Amino acid sequence: MKEELKGLLLEQLEQFRNKDLGIEREALGNIKNHKKSPHAIVVTGLRRVGKSTLLSQIAHSFYANSEYYFVNFEDERFINFTGSDLNMLYELLIELFGERRVFLFDEIQNIAGWERFVRRMIDGGFKFYITGSNASLLSGELGAKLTGRYIPIDLFPFSFEEFLSFKKILSPNLKTLTTTQKGKLKKSFNEYLQKGGIPDALKYPESPWHKTLYDDVIYRDVATRYKIEDVKALKELAFYTISNISSLLSFNNLKGLLKLGSVNTVKSYIDYLETSWLFFVINRYAFSLKKQQISNKKAYCIDTGLAKSLAFSFSENRGRLLENLVFLTLRRENKDIYYYKTTKDQEVDFYLPNKGSLIQVCQTLTDPKNKEREITALVEATMETKAKFLLLLTEDEKEVIKINDTKIEVLPIYEWLLSRTYLKDLSVSG
């Protein structure tokens, strides 16, 4: 077994060093800030979102070849490996490569009991960069496994800026945007909205990457992991949710519609899908926790391209895709996100209480009634929440609306996505 492992480790390291680094991910800058920290860096995210490539970028950017070990535990030759075997693995790594202080472990969740080895080595001064797919490395689980010894990094599909970089398109200066540049930028934005930011789906557009990825999450990350027997009901719930992103969802109605046994079953299935990075679910903002729990939810898909490929009749629901895209951008920097309903039942798409921000998404304001409705909702909501920053995002309009002491900034979504000023204003650390 040891000789086979030696060959495997040599083979993996060679492949790792020859791996295409792709475009530099924005997460790399965040990770660099923690390079000198004694804590493990734990990167989690959807399958095929680029975690292994990010590991390559970490190795290439921060360390010489002689400074780190690399192991990919997704290889089937590790299938019977357990945490108790990691000491033997470490001995083999020393034998092959000498003593090193940095470990790059890919898909570590496949090894039962891995956390004991990692925790002990961290206490001994070793540095770890760890990736894991989906629910296997949840922050809640990690809190118990690595108590205070890790820094979580969420890796999303490409942002719009990363998408432009992938397409080898330079981001224009928004302050001096020419008509030609604006037209090209809107064209790129439309492609990004429709195709999303999953790397392999963009590299190989003729392949059914979205369907393959979706099925892997449903069957491997949810049904198998949580031992769900009624896979048909799980699939129907996932399909209904992805077909109704950005819309209000009632768990009670879903229970009846899908003939599931109880509201708790619906809630559990939604939780599984969420912790597997397929969806995000947000609550209505309310001072009462009970009211938050019983109110309808809103769900958003991890990638607009995935939703567009798999959902039912999405060709006519561009507005919901736009709202989903805005949510994903907010979620990269914020976890405290709600939707808001005023006392007069006006809805605002996003409320960020930690930033005192209200954000409305509307495809266009050309219809006066539509414009009035969106503005009224923001004005009513700011009176109730005392929010200081009001933003109305559309496909192409740009203006500042002032109503008494209330100022609403109207921006095109494609411009907001590239405006670091706005993203920084809305960001919440941690």
Q: What pLDDT, on the 0 to 100 scale, is given for residue 422?
A: 46
Distance CA 64, CA 377 (A): 55
Q: What pLDDT, on the 0 to 100 scale, is given for residue 269?
A: 96
- What integer is the mean pLDDT of 402-410? 94
Cβ neighbours of residue 373 under 8 Å, at least 6 residues apart? 346
Q: What pLDDT, on the 0 to 100 scale, is given for residue 140?
A: 54
Q: What pLDDT, on the 0 to 100 scale, is given for residue 313?
A: 63
Distance CA 96, CA 101 (A): 14
0.95 surpassed by pTM: no
pLDDT band (50, 70, 90) for residue 426? very low
Kind of pairing between the strands at 347-352 and 357-361: antiparallel
Q: Where are the domains of the chain?
A: 2-155, 333-430
Cβ neighbours of residue 370 under 8 Å, at least 6 residues apart? 362, 364
Q: What pLDDT, on the 0 to 100 scale, is given for residue 427?
A: 37
Q: What pLDDT, on the 0 to 100 scale, is given for residue 133?
A: 72
- What integer is the mean pLDDT of 47-56? 94
Distance CA 414, CA 430 (A): 26
- List the structure tokens of 34: 């923690």
Distance CA 45, CA 152 (A): 11
Given a contact cutoff of 8 angstroms between Cβ atoms, the answer to whether 223 and 269 are in contact is: no
CATH of 2-155, one of 3.40.50.300, 3.30.1480.10, 3.40.1160.10, 2.40.50.100: 3.40.50.300
Quick one: what percent of the chain has pLDDT higher than 70?
Answer: 94
Q: What is the dihedral of CA 156, 423, 163, 337, to 10 degrees?
A: 40
Distance CA 423, CA 329 (A): 8
Q: What pLDDT, on the 0 to 100 scale, is given for residue 148?
A: 84
Least confident of 105-114, 234-243, 247-256, 387-396: 105-114
Q: What pLDDT, on the 0 to 100 scale, is given for residue 112?
A: 84
The amino acid at residue 327 is: F
Quick one: what percent of the chain has pLDDT higher than 90?
Answer: 79
* Averaged pLDDT score across all residues of the chain: 91
Q: What pLDDT, on the 0 to 100 scale, is given for residue 141?
A: 61
Q: What is the 3-state secondary structure (H, E, C) of the chain?
A: CHHHHHHHHHHHHHHHHCCCCCCCCCHHHHHHCCCCCCCEEEEEECCCCCHHHHHHHHHHHHCCHHHEEEEECCCHHHCCCEHHHHHHHHHHHHHHHCCCCEEEEECHHHCECHHHHHHHHHHCCCEEEEEEEHHHHCHHHHHHHCCCCEEEEEECCCCHHHHHHHCCCCCCCHHHCCHHHHHHHHHHHHHHHHHCCCHHHHHCCCCCHHHHHHHHHHHHHHHHCCCCCCHHHHHHHHHHHHCCCCCEECHHHHHHHCCCCCHHHHHHHHHHHHHCCCEEEECECCCCHHHHHHCCEEEEECCHHHHHHHCCCHHHCHHHHHHHHHHHHHHHHCCCCEEEECCCCCEEEEEECCCCEEEEECCCCCCHHHHHHHHHHHHHHHHHHCCCEEEEEECCCCEEEEECCEEEEEEEHHHHHHCHHHHHHHCCCC
pLDDT tens, residue by residue, 304-340? 999 999 987 655 689 999 999 999 999 999 999 999 9
Distance CA 228, CA 277 (A): 18
The pLDDT of residue 341 is above 60:
yes
Q: What pLDDT, on the 0 to 100 scale, is given for residue 138?
A: 54
Q: What pLDDT, on the 0 to 100 scale, is given for residue 430?
A: 29
Which residue reads 């539509």 in tokens? 370
The pLDDT of residue 425 is above 80:
no
pLDDT tens, residue by residue, 208-245? 999 999 999 999 889 998 999 999 999 999 999 999 99
